[in-house]
Amino acid sequence: MRLLVPFVCVFPLLTACATVSPRYGAWLSTAVDFATIIPPETLRRDADNGDSQAQLAYSIMLQYGLQHIASNPSLADEYRREALKERGLVTGAVWSSGAAKTSSHTQIVSTTRDQISEEQVEVAEGCARALSEGAEGAEILGMPACGSADNFVRLQSLWRRATD
């Protein structure tokens, strides 16, 4: 499971291109989407295998007892802490073909691996909290909960199904 960010990665050898501020893009609620639609056993397997997005989503699932799993706030905290751990670097090579009369070259590029920031966790948890409280119009870090009013309504439907 990988986070889809609102830009194209031009270095296909890398598993992550950049850490993008959650103030941009509709992917703000990805963890909530995952927590409401991915089967718990799949999400837990991915979380236990070190996938930071799965760890954050599974922590939300545990916090709110989504998809018929028992609520477990202390275990949710453990998965949240794991999601925030530094992942180290991914290194890859990028080859550039030479333009007319220039030579081609290879460049080594390193970037962080699936890094989740405190701000991203705050946004995901704020979205989940707003959905659990039915707080349409709530704001997180000065923006609409879950990215937009339309996305909030879409997620409300998923949330209801995951809590039935």
Q: Give residue 1's pLDDT.
A: 47
Q: Are 35 and 61 in contact (CB under 8 A)?
A: yes
Q: Give residue 88's pLDDT.
A: 64
Sketch the domain layout of the chain as residue ranges.
27-85+114-163
Q: Give residue 90's pLDDT.
A: 62
Residue with the larger pLDDT of the pair 81 and 139:
81
Q: What is the mean pLDDT of residues 127-149?
A: 82
Residue with the larger pLDDT of the pair 63 and 136:
63
Q: Give residue 147's pLDDT.
A: 81
Range in 7-16, 71-80, 88-97 with the lowest mean pLDDT: 7-16
* DSSP structure string for 43-102: HHHHHHTT-HHHHHHHHHHHHHTGGGPPP-HHHHHHHHHHHHS---EEEEEEEE---TTS
Q: Give residue 150's pLDDT.
A: 85
Distance CA 122, CA 137 (A): 17
State pLDDT tens for residues 98-129: 666 666 767 777 665 567 888 888 889 989 99
What is the length of the chain? 164
Q: What is the mean pLDDT of residues 127-143?
A: 82
State pLDDT tens for residues 57-77: 999 999 999 999 999 999 999
The overall average pLDDT reported for the chain is 77
Q: Are 14 and 110 in contact (CB under 8 A)?
A: no
State pLDDT tens for residues 15-57: 333 333 333 334 456 899 999 999 999 999 999 998 888 999 9
Q: Give residue 79's pLDDT.
A: 95
Distance CA 26, CA 10 (A): 21
- Computed from CA positions of residues 55, 59, 61, 62, in that sequence, does the dihedral angle turn out positive or negative? positive
